[in-house]
Copies of this chain bind each other. A is one copy, B any other.
Amino acid sequence: MQPKNDTSFLMISAAIVGASGYSGAELLRLLSLHNDVRIHAVAAHQWIGKRVDELYPVFSGNVDLTFGDINDESFMDADVVFLALPSGTAMSIVPGLLKGRARVVDLGGDFRLKSPQLYEQYYGHSHTAIPVLADAVYGLPELNGPAIRDARLVANPGCYPTSALLPLLPVIKGGIIAPGGITINSLSGVSGAGRSSSADMSFAEINENIRAYKIGRHQHIPEIQAVLESVIGEPVQVSFVPHLVPITRGIYTTIHANLSGSYTDAEIFDCYKSFYRDAAFVRIRTQIPQLKDVLYTNYCDIFCSIERRTNQLIMVSVIDNLVKGAAGQAIQNMNIMSGYPEASGLKGKENHQQ
């Protein structure tokens, strides 16, 4: 084992606020495996003073931390603060944090939409940190890498938008699909809903069951549309239906879009390959992917198929909602912000050896 002393002054000091939810716990798991990170402090308002490994015995022996309070000054000292909080909470904390030296990655939805009107319409409460909105960079590394590098505040994308945007971006930007009539159906595991004590999320209600929800009014609809519109500079229309299925982790997204002309399989494959030439975590597949191909990884696997009969492009993507859809992408953003290789701590050793 190599002496750590030589490089430790370069280690990233990270803090997590909202560390007791599923995204927060996944941040803990991944950061505790990251050779270049020291977890500095963790906060969870309902567990102050409790050891992390009491709440999560799986970390016993690997994570030696106690939940603290967000107001502890240690959070101001961190290089990077991750926020994994319910919508509406981050916007009350971020302005204060930004007065200090820390850079912030917000895993929630408070800074993803540039429009306070859309925020209020879809989130159901008004935005209280409007001046900060302009500073937030949408943290999809495959789209915004350079801006993320310099950002003080990164708005980590939603899990569904991550799964929908990665397959859509190359073909909408390339003009291959029409910007209207895009239909997105997503199947999600329950961890996406957070650590819940609702009877609706109990095992007996979820097991052997499926349900669609928030049809036509999910807060990720304006997020998907806004990003696509920013890329092509014209209006985009997507219809999105999320479904809850009895799995713990993962999102499976199937998208139908109208082709703008006549394309060969090779042309479309090349479009994807070219767009993601330098992407560390997008794999263009030639077979229909399964969810398990990406579980516990930061990959998004993408497949597409031309349906000649209807002249549509059918796209499929799979991600782990807690990794590429939340904590993993947040760490990918942290790596970029800190000048480390994008994949540090997120892949096997091969990637560290580059």
Asked whether B247 lies within 8 Å of A353 as measured between CB atoms, the reply is no
Residues 236-275 (chain A) with a chain B CB within 8 angstroms: 237-239, 241, 243, 245-250, 252, 254, 256, 258
Kindly state whether residue A312 has any CB partner on chain B within 8 Å: yes
Asked whether A246 lies within 8 Å of B246 as measured between CB atoms, the reply is yes
Q: Which residue of B lies closest to A198 (CB)?
A: B197
- Say yes or no: A248-B208 contact (C-beta < 8 A), given A203-B202, A307-B239: yes
**Nearest Cβ distance between residue A10 and chain B, in whole angstroms?**
11
Asked whether A301 lies within 8 Å of B212 as measured between CB atoms, the reply is no
**Nearest Cβ distance between residue A317 and chain B, in whole angstroms?**
11
Asked whether A1 lies within 8 Å of B341 as measured between CB atoms, the reply is yes
Q: Specify which chain B residues have a CB less than 8 angstroms from the CB of A287 in the assembled complex.
A: 57
Which 7 pairs between the two chains have the least Cβ-Cβ distance?
Answer: A1-B4, A203-B206, A197-B199, A210-B252, A211-B290, A57-B293, A185-B185
Of the A-B pairs whose beta carbons lie under 8 Å apart in the complex, a sample of 14, sorted by A's number, is A34-B349, A35-B349, A57-B287, A57-B301, A58-B294, A62-B347, A196-B202, A207-B248, A208-B208, A208-B249, A209-B290, A216-B307, A237-B309, A245-B245
Kindly state whether residue A288 has any CB partner on chain B within 8 Å: yes
Q: Which residue of B lies closest to A350 (CB)?
A: B62
Give bound CA distance, A239 to B294, whole Å: 26
Kindly state whether residue A115 has any CB partner on chain B within 8 Å: no
Q: Which residue of B lies closest to A307 (CB)?
A: B216
Count of chain A residues with a beta carbon within 8 Å of a chain B beta carbon: 94
Q: Specify which chain B residues have a CB less than 8 angstroms from the CB of A187 in the assembled complex.
A: 187, 210, 243, 245
Contact with B along A332-354 (1 / 0, CB 8 A): 00000000010010011111111
Give bound CA distance, A292 to B247, whole Å: 15
**Nearest Cβ distance between residue A233 and chain B, in whole angstroms?**
20
Tell me how many chains of this kind the complex includes. Answer: 4
Q: Specify which chain B residues have a CB less than 8 angstroms from the CB of A241 in the assembled complex.
A: 254, 256, 314
Give bound CA distance, A22 to B185, whole Å: 29
Asked whether B203 lies within 8 Å of A248 as measured between CB atoms, the reply is yes
**Nearest Cβ distance between residue A27 and chain B, in whole angstroms?**
13
Q: Specify which chain B residues have a CB less than 8 angstroms from the CB of A245 in the assembled complex.
A: 187, 210, 245-247
**Nearest Cβ distance between residue A205 and chain B, in whole angstroms?**
8
Asked whether A195 lies within 8 Å of B191 as measured between CB atoms, the reply is no
Interface centre among A207, A243, A256, A294 (most CB of B within 10 A): A207
**Nearest Cβ distance between residue A111 and chain B, in whole angstroms?**
24
Asked whether A58 lies within 8 Å of B248 as measured between CB atoms, the reply is no
Asked whether B310 lies within 8 Å of A237 as measured between CB atoms, the reply is yes
Asked whether B57 lies within 8 Å of A289 as measured between CB atoms, the reply is yes
Kindly state whether residue A13 has any CB partner on chain B within 8 Å: no
Kindly state whether residue A117 has any CB partner on chain B within 8 Å: no
Q: Specify which chain B residues have a CB less than 8 angstroms from the CB of A239 in the assembled complex.
A: 256, 307, 309-310, 312, 314
Kindly state whether residue A86 has any CB partner on chain B within 8 Å: no
Q: Specify which chain B residues have a CB less than 8 angstroms from the CB of A351 in the assembled complex.
A: 61-62
Q: Specify which chain B residues have a CB less than 8 angstroms from the CB of A247 in the assembled complex.
A: 207-210, 245-246
Give bound CA distance, A206 to B248, whole Å: 10
Kindly state whether residue A66 has any CB partner on chain B within 8 Å: no
Kindly state whether residue A7 has any CB partner on chain B within 8 Å: yes
Asked whether A295 lies within 8 Å of B58 as measured between CB atoms, the reply is yes
**Nearest Cβ distance between residue A288 and chain B, in whole angstroms?**
5
Q: Specify which chain B residues have a CB less than 8 angstroms from the CB of A92 in the assembled complex.
A: none
Asked whether B250 lies within 8 Å of A210 as measured between CB atoms, the reply is yes
